[in-house]
Structure 1
């Protein structure tokens, strides 16, 4: 049953309520009776005269015979006597009042002149009191009879809250109210269901009723379970990412929580789009901050350029950390291909980084910025070298070509001299050399000489560099491509 399908028109039961058997049942999956927080009305008041007039034979003008419709699926059910105590299991009569029953459009139709001639529905007494005899067939799931009796008693009352006081009660009463076209009761059930929480199982049952409700009745129920537009999930996820990296003092815990949401998100494509969007935004802020910091015109246009420089470097550093977290999430989900392409096409940005890293002010104000940028590069380059992100050789070449000078500047200016940073740039050196080994020999010939700064006084400390050059020269001794072909 889809939510977007056409609405079904409400119709009277004509004595048949079987269409609701699968929607409402008080049976547990194992066939046992489920506990009810409140026993419905109805059965308890059958043999007593109600103060409201329900089942009052002294002035009733309608005798309603309720009888049970047996089902071939009832063989394994418990006897109905467990639900209705000593009441006749086959049929019994209620003394009711036509002016009250007409609150139900179903009974109003049966009591109209149009239907009185149909003996299948109505029998009119010959005496002057004009007593109507109506028959109402009730399907036999245990508990459904109680729901019918409850709805019939609610016809005599405007205090629906006395009975509709739980989700289970509302879900038991609603199918009967729909079948009998008791609009006031339907509205009371829907209003209660809209206002209270549901379990997952209750939500499924609520949704089963939606096609049977009018649009204005189902609108608020659907609003809490159906998004207003197809992009709601992505908008929500993007908002959580932004909040995690910008707005929380306990950022580490919130980031860990959002990272789990990303891992568990049902659509990897949606997660990729959201992460790409957040990545682009953070990268844009870092680039703009470094561009302003490095611009000679900018430095001469302000009375206090040092203060502005601090702001720009602080902004770049903060959003650089955000970038690193986003890159880690992308690699974890294996959706970092777009980020690699963006990162490999940043010649202007890497030029600004080189100028900033040569500047004493940058080293003093934001000493951690070089390590953050190198870590982002190393994460993406490692994923490429490992084959978890597959990109064309042109992108691999640009990644090394644009970011290799940044690594060299960091190393030459002693920006990565801490023990942890030293292992970081050695890791990136090895990764760049591995990527170079995947490139056409002409590109490798252009890039390898730029890697000579990887060497140390002790050749044994740079086996990665030795291996890279040996590999290139070994390949260079092969015959040209045309001769091989």
Structure 2
């Protein structure tokens, strides 16, 4: 091995440095010097023989190898054991009640044991469990001996016993977290410590919970079945559940919320609450709201949109009219309608709206009379419907699919350039083009041909200002001219023949 490589390995400790080993002359000098010194203690027994132990100076590799064979260090006491020790040190029970007359031993499932000097009167008065335990014949001597075995959490049992000595238990629990209170509640219930149960329930009713703690609280209370505190438990659970309302049904409240958002005066607040409510609807799939309520709001939005466009077409003739205000009004009404469509799709109720949108010939006619810069927000509704159909989230018959394209596709083509430029952040162009392509391909081959031939001419003249449905065009081409499926009648059945 090259000297440089050897030096490097010595430097990093992988082989021993020969200059550090004792030479015979040095050994002799050490031996003579040791004559006047007291004999050293007996060396410890040698480690098990292995290849690395033959080196007088262990290398890093040797030490790494030996580390693997060492016994793991003894485990430290858990935090819970340390907490029990602290509680026991602070537990001064003989000041008021005098010398103890009961030895209580709490044993955990892991074998951990804690013995406490307590008082029969305190435990018997506070807990029916201990009253029964200590009503039996006394043992020899002056004290009872009581043991609680197989405890899940020794610390909580010890703390619960200490709480029996508190004059103001409710005040003592202030500042404890919800999980700790639930643990104390479980033990208090198990040993029939009624004051502890009541105090824990009062704490849970008054303290705030996180959403994660909310589930734990409900689960714990359902598990415990506390018949003697039904009113307290009911009061706590009212935070997360409700009794039948006198002020209106869930549907009426839902209607009020949606209507409030649609009519909001502050645009920023309206946009924020739309996001919040839609998020909650998406997360909670079982939120119940009737179809009548949603479609009632849809009809209101459509009526508002028609009136808005009618007013705009009249006001456009007035040169003094603020066109920015007109644009904002149309955009607001279109955005409200688009939000309702999103909710209908999420609730799987959008099929009837597609037919309703296909029948809006009056609205489509008004739309064509308004400059694109004012009206393009309305075409987002058509785009969203196509995305829903193309992704299989809206299921309607073929006549309805063709009708909605027949009514609104030209408007979508006309507005797409403005949609792409003005709404570049909110409009996913690829998503819209894929949805439109898939929607076209669900039609009959003749309907596909009618739509795609018109698109072909539009795309060649408008380019990026027209949706690119080239994929649909290619699929239609292959279906029409390359792979033709022919249905041939037969006496017994229909035969489908594929021609290439």
Give the TM-score normalised by structure 1: 0.56
1:164, 1:432 → 2: CA distance? Answer: 61
> 1:191 Cα deviation (Å)?
0.7
Shift of 1:147: 2.3
- Aligned equivalent of 2:197: 186
Corresponding residue for 1:372? Answer: 377
Structure 1 residue 397, shift from structure 2 partner: 2.0
Aligned to 1:346: 357
- In 2, the alpha carbon distance for the partners of 1:132 and 1:262 equals 67
Q: d(CA) in 1 for partners of 2:459 and 2:110?
A: 90
Which residue among 125, 130, 146 is the counterpart of 1:102?
Answer: 125
Residues 84 and 158, structure 2, Cα contact 8 Å, conserved in 1: no
Matches within 5 A, 1:47-446: 49-50=94-95, 53-54=96-97, 56-57=98-99, 63-68=101-106, 70=107, 73-75=109-111, 77=112, 80=113, 89=115, 93-97=117-121, 101-106=124-129, 121-123=136-138, 134-139=144-149, 141-154=153-166, 157-158=167-168, 160-162=170-172, 165-167=175-177, 170-171=181-182, 173-198=184-209, 200=212, 204=216, 207-210=219-222, 211-213=224-226, 214-226=229-241, 239=257, 243=261, 246=264, 249=268, 265=283, 269-270=285-286, 280=295, 283-292=298-307, 317-325=331-339, 327=341, 335=346, 338-339=349-350, 341-348=352-359, 350-359=360-369, 363=370, 368=373, 370-385=375-390, 391-404=396-409, 406=411, 411=414, 418=418, 420=420, 435-436=439-440, 438-440=442-444
Q: Which residue of 2 aligns with 1:14?
A: none
Q: Is the 8 A contact 2:201 2:232 kept in 1?
A: yes
Note the C-alpha offset of 1:377: 0.8
* Aligned-partner SS, 2:94: coil
CA–CA distance in structure 1, aligned partners of residues 307 and 190 of structure 2: 71
Does the residue aligned with 1:66 lie in a helix, a strand or coil? strand
**Deviation (angstroms), 1:44:** 3.4
Cα distance, 1:482–1:145 mapped onto 2, change above 3 Å:
closer
What secondary structure sits across from 1:153 in the alignment? coil
Relative to structure 1, the CA distance from residue 458 to residue 44 in structure 2 (aligned partners, 3 Å threshold; closer, same or farther) is closer
Deviation at 1:219, TM superposition (A): 1.5
2: CA distance, partners of 1:453 / 1:105 = 84
Compared CA separation, residues 164 and 229, structure 1 to 2 (3 A): same
Unaligned runs of 5+ in 1: 1-29, 126-130, 300-305
Q: Is the 8 A contact 1:323 1:376 kept in 2?
A: yes
**Native 8 Å contact 1:292 1:312 kept in 2:** no
- SS of corresponding position for 2:363: helix
Query: Number of aligned pairs?
Result: 389
Q: Where in structure 2 are there 5+ consecutive unaligned residues?
A: 1-75, 315-319, 496-500
1:152-208 superposed Cα distances (whole Å, 9 cap, x missing partner): 313xx2454135541366445434433443323321121112222346469636742
User: Shift in Å at residue 417 of structure 1?
Assistant: 7.3
Task: State the match for 1:128 in structure 2.
Answer: none
- The Cα shift of 1:279 comes to 6.5
CA deviations over 1:206-231 (Å, ceiling 9, x no partner): 74255242321211332334565899
- Assess if the C-alpha contact under 8 Å between 2:358 and 2:404 holds in 1: no
* TM-score normalized with structure 2 length: 0.55
CA 1:394–1:293: 2 relative to 1, 3 Å: same
Change over 3 Å in CA distance of 1:177–1:387 after alignment to 2? closer
Quote the offset at 1:371 in angstroms: 1.1
CA offsets 1:103-156 (integer angstroms, 9 cap, x no match)? 544566678xxxx6xxxx24499xxxxx996553323543245224313313xx
- The verdict on how the C-alpha distance between 1:448 and 1:163 changes in structure 2, with shifts beyond 3 A counting, is closer
Task: Out of 202-211 and 213-222, give the one that drifted further.
Answer: 202-211
CA RMSD between the two structures = 5.9
Counterpart secondary structure, 1:67: strand
Give CA deviations for 1:348-392 in whole Å, capped at 9, x if unaligned.
4x2221332355xxx37xx65531222221232245346665544
Q: Secondary structure at the match of 2:118?
A: strand
Once residues 291 and 205 of structure 1 are traced to their aligned partners in structure 2, the CA distance between those partners, rounded to angstroms, is 51
Deviation at 1:318, TM superposition (A): 1.5
